[in-house]
Structure 1
């Protein structure tokens, strides 16, 4: 575990993308199987272990530590795994041992539910401080090291001198500890042959439109489509095998059985997964908040299927039957996709409509005032562009609407994780609303990014100097009309919500600016957010 623990520490402290890749490459080259495969799975989020709840870990430490001292220590450190790894006192007579990552994972996978407690106690006794920390992060699924699954795949590509597209094509046909994958990457075996033909293929991504990006480009060379507020998916029906994948390549077939059942298409298509009605029906497309009712579920019941019917709005086609047409220009692929969609179930598939325009100024006006509240902006696609894996600048652009903005008041704060574990960096903010007792702040969202490191220092200092109540790890801060901290919050969308006391839910909120020039009494009111929802409707 020492090597894995060192890898985690260095990844957390290394902000540069290329430096993270070098660390991963060095680890994969120097670490034997199966440990490197399990490390890859842990980083990429594909590792399945017997669940170890944070409460069990806390209880194990409380067997050996005073409860009051634990709470003081946890409050100071701010991270459960770090607290336990530092405070743990091994049982007398237990010999220390550097257990390999492979041994740890396989012991956990083989343990019965009743054995997990004693197994964790034994491993915590035998590992050193860094090994304990890595173990606890592993079993709780809380690595938080700033490495995405795609970055890990890029490291594999560099390690083996392969194209990342090949690795992403193989990815969902293999399982931890990925022995055939590493044999191929190290030149000891041929490329693995997958048993299922309906594999995931790397998606083509668009570049955000920046200042001056459209200058010199001819609008006549591009097609425009609306950018819908759902999730990007890839649907495959090849050789009689049907699979639905998310943009990152996670299989989500089980959560959308109606799509799989209706997928009588022959090939692989790229599109947006939405709920509500298709363009070929009279029912309006629902919001992302509605789509969330269907996401991240292993199974769905009849009521969910009826209340939140899913469909795919087709963007592109990668394979027509078994023929790879990704090298064909966009306008040719679009025609093939249109033919396929027309023959598909009208309840479950439609074609993303093109947006007619002749100048960038005209498209800008359309982008700013789209005809449907579920539209985030527009997509621009060169008519002659092939379907390229990854984000190549030039062929495709995304031009989103300007974000919504409100001024809100900080109400609660909690410490972050990883390198932010010593800072209050997760913030709940609110706006003013009328209540029985008069005007009061009501929470409307949470944000933990958008600010710079220097701004984080300012926010953290405010929390420490203005805490008025404590609720476990949460700190309530001073928030009065004439005393508090105002922040400008930007967000991509807003919808009604029955799950939140305020009745509203923001999409992708972040702290855009600190507003020390404003008093809390000058922050926005709940009516402002409600008006945004009404304007969308």
Structure 2
């Protein structure tokens, strides 16, 4: 457990991607089996413990520490695992320090009534770093800046193979990955990827630089299609096994049983998960109602029916199609989707164009209908094979320019992980009027990125210096017509929302600039956002 705790601690304090890769690679080289395999599973999100819940951690600490002291400490620190790790009154020597594999194997078999006792014994035996790592493991929220792909890359670096080779076999393996690690050690052959229902490594597009890229590209060599505003998925149906994967290989099947039920074929479709109403793509906010859920109830399935808009065909009837050129895969895809005749799976149509100027005009002003739910265009070279990763040249994404507004900072909340000591999650608002016609701010969004580390420190200082109220980890800052911090906010889309007081919801808001120079009374009004909505809805069919 000590080596795993040291790894998490160093990862949480390391911003450099290359440094994180080295730390994970070195851990795979130094840690014994099965601990290194369990560590890899934890970093990739492959572990969950049904019997252990955060509420049990609270019960355990409140049995040892005054509950009010714990509450105040948690409000200050802002992270459950870190708070408990620091405040826990351990009895060192009372128990033997557990190994990582011992903890995981116990949590996989323990009864719910026995969890608290186990946790208390382990917390007693570990130091503060070990307690923090244990609780992060139990809750599943490591928050050390490591994605599954980064962990796969570190494993590939360790074994001297391509990351696509790791992805190809990953979903045919199970923690603690003994066969996979034996292969990476050079002690065994590569494990077979041939497992029904497995995930295939996804091909990604490069962002298009209009100035640098377009002059070098031949329009006749590329196909164009809309980049739909949903979630990229892989819909797999093989050997009686049906699964819906995210682009990172997360199994989303349980949350979308209506989509899984429609996978009545033998093959693998690469596409976009959308809410579809009579074949029309709904705004992303509708899909958000169904994301991050373990299951979907009957009411939600009826009101927000999901489906897949197909981009590509990776396999069909046992044949791997990824090496074929895009134009041939596209032809096979068109016939495949037509044969399905499903209202849950439709085809992403190609966008005809003569040249780049023609396509740029379409991107700026899409025609009526579904393209109002698209966030830009995709360019795909006709002769391109389906390659894992993000190769330069075959595919480009040409997103629409983000929209901008000036808003006023209203609330700030503490971050997590390495940001737990800073106010880094910012709620902002625009001007409207109350019933008496008095100007007031109404919240329209929340952003937690887009600024540098130096700007974060400036924002944190502003929040601390101008706090007017406190609500646990949240602070309300001074904001009125005479004083306030204006933030230039960029966002990808906008839609009406009954859940928000302002009546609007933003898609991917981020802080574009801090307008230290701009008076608060010059920030935008809610009517600006309402006009944007009216313009977007005016472009769609009534």
- 2:343 equivalent to 1:347: yes
| Residue-by-residue CA offset, 1:432-481 (whole Å, 9 max, x unaligned) | 22222532211111111000111111101100101111111111111111
**1:412 alignment partner, SS class:** strand
- Any idea what SS the aligned residue of 1:422 has? coil
Shift of 1:105: 1.7
**Quick check: 195-204 or 442-451, which moved more?**
195-204
Query: Structure 1 CA distance, aligned partners of 2:14 and 2:44?
Result: 18
Contact 1:74 1:83 in 2 (8 A): yes
* Structure-2 residue corresponding to 1:457: 457
Give the aligned partner of residue 29 of structure 1: 29
Q: Distance in 2 between matches of 1:67 and 1:312?
A: 48
Distance 1:52 1:441, change over 3 A: farther
Corresponding residue of 2:355:
359
Aligned residue in 2 for 1:390: 389
TM-score, normalising length: structure 1: 0.94
Equivalent position SS for 1:343: helix
What displacement does 1:284 show?
2.6
Q: How many residues align?
A: 532
Query: Paired residue for 1:287?
Result: 283
Q: Match of 1:84?
A: 84
Mapped to 2, the partners of 1:145 and 1:74 lie a distance apart of: 19
Give secondary structure in 2 for the equivalent of 1:364.
Answer: helix
Q: Does 1:160 align with 2:159?
A: yes
Does residue 129 of the first structure (1) align with residue 125 of the second (2)?
no
Q: Contact 1:51–1:140 at 8 Å: present in 2 too?
A: no
Alpha-carbon distance between aligned partners in 1 of 2:452 and 2:482, rounded to the nearest angstrom: 26
1:457 aligns to what SS in structure 2? helix
Q: Matched residues in 2 for 1:208 and 1:506: separation?
A: 22
Which residue does 1:205 correspond to in 2? 204
The 5 A counterparts of 1:502-513 are 502-513=502-513
Q: Aligned ranges for residues 493-508 of structure 1 at < 5 Å? A: 493-508=493-508
- For residue 361 of structure 1, give the secondary structure of its aligned residue in structure 2: helix
C-alpha separation in 1, matches of 2:96 and 2:479: 51
Mapped to 1, the partners of 2:513 and 2:443 lie a distance apart of 18
Q: Match of 2:231? A: 231
Select between 71-80 and 512-521 the one with higher mean Cα deviation. Answer: 71-80
Contact 1:196 1:241 in 2 (8 A): no
Q: Which of the numbers 283, 297, 301 marks the counterpart of 1:301?
A: 297
Residues 236-283 of structure 1: CA distance to partner in whole angstroms, max 9, x if unpaired? 223343222111111222333333333233322211111124xxx5x5
Aligned-residue offset at 1:285: 1.7
What's the CA shift string for 1:287-318, capped at 9, x where partnerless? 11111223233333333232222222111111
Contact kept, 8 Å, 1:429 with 1:446, in 2: the verdict is yes
Q: Closer, same or farther in 2 for the Cα pair 1:359/1:150, shift >3 Å?
A: same
Cα distance in 2 for partners of 1:266, 1:290 equals: 29
Distance 1:325 1:55 in 2: 48
The aligned runs of 1:131-280 (5 Å cut-off) are: 131-193=130-192, 196-210=195-209, 211-277=211-277
Superposed CA RMSD: 2.0
Q: What secondary structure is seen at the aligned counterpart in 1 of 2:106?
A: helix
CA shift for structure 1 position 167 = 2.0
514-523 or 254-263, larger mean C-alpha shift:
254-263
Larger displacement relative to structure 2 (155-164 or 19-28): 155-164
Q: CA deviation at 1:175?
A: 2.4
Secondary structure of 2:372's aligned partner: coil
| Higher deviation after alignment, 160-169 or 424-433 | 160-169
Q: Distance in 2 between matches of 1:136 and 1:10?
A: 16
Using a 3 Å threshold, how does the CA distance of structure 1 residues 251 and 55 change in structure 2: closer, same or farther? closer
Aligned to 1:530: 530
Give CA deviations for 1:151-185 in whole Å, capped at 9, x if unaligned. 11111122222332232122223322222322332
Contact 1:236/1:267 (8 A) holds in 2: yes
Residue 182 of structure 1: SS of its match in structure 2?
helix
Q: 1:238 to 1:64 in 2, by over 3 A?
A: closer
Give the SS at the match of 1:501.
coil
Residue in 1 aligned with 2:315? 319
User: In structure 2, what is the equivalent of residue 335 of structure 1?
Assistant: 331
Structure 1 CA distance, aligned partners of 2:477 and 2:67? 26
SS at match of 1:460: helix
Aligned CA distance change for structure 1 residues 260 and 77 (closer, same or farther; 3 Å): closer
Note if contact 2:95-2:121 (Cα within 8 Å) is conserved in structure 1.
no
CA contact (8 A) 1:274 1:313 kept: yes
Change (3 A) 1:264 1:66: closer
Cα deviation for residue 96 of structure 1 reads 5.6
Counterparts of 1:199 and 1:50, CA distance in 2? 24
1:78 and 1:261 map into 2 onto residues whose CA distance is 41
The match for 1:310 is 306
Per the alignment, in what secondary structure is the counterpart of residue 215 of structure 1?
helix
Contact (CA 8 Å) 1:489, 1:509: kept in 2 or not? yes
Equivalent-residue separation in structure 2 for 1:154 and 1:28 (angstroms):
12
TM normalised by structure 2 equals 0.93
Residue 433 of structure 1 corresponds to 432
Distance across 1 between alignment mates of 2:42 and 2:448: 24
Partner of 2:540: none
The CA deviation at 1:72 is 4.8
Shift, 1:54, TM fit: 4.1
Contact 1:370-1:377 within 8 A present in 2 as well: no
The CA deviation at 1:52 is: 4.4
Out of 334-343 and 413-422, give the one that drifted further.
413-422
In structure 1, distance between residues paired with 2:112 and 2:71: 27
Partner SS for 1:518:
coil
Counterpart CA distance in 2 for 1:195 and 1:333 is 21
Gaps of 5+ in 2: 538-542
CA distance in 2, matches of 1:21, 1:75: 33
1:216-247 CA-partner distances (Å, limit 9, x unpaired): 21111111101100111112223343222111
2:27 matches 1:13: no
User: Counterpart of 1:109?
Assistant: 108
Determine if contact 1:165/1:201 at 8 Å carries over to the other structure.
Answer: no
Aligned-pair CA distance for 1:75: 4.5
**Cα pair distance change 1:74/1:303, threshold 3 Å:** closer
Whole-angstrom distance in 2 between the partners of 1:116 and 1:98 = 17
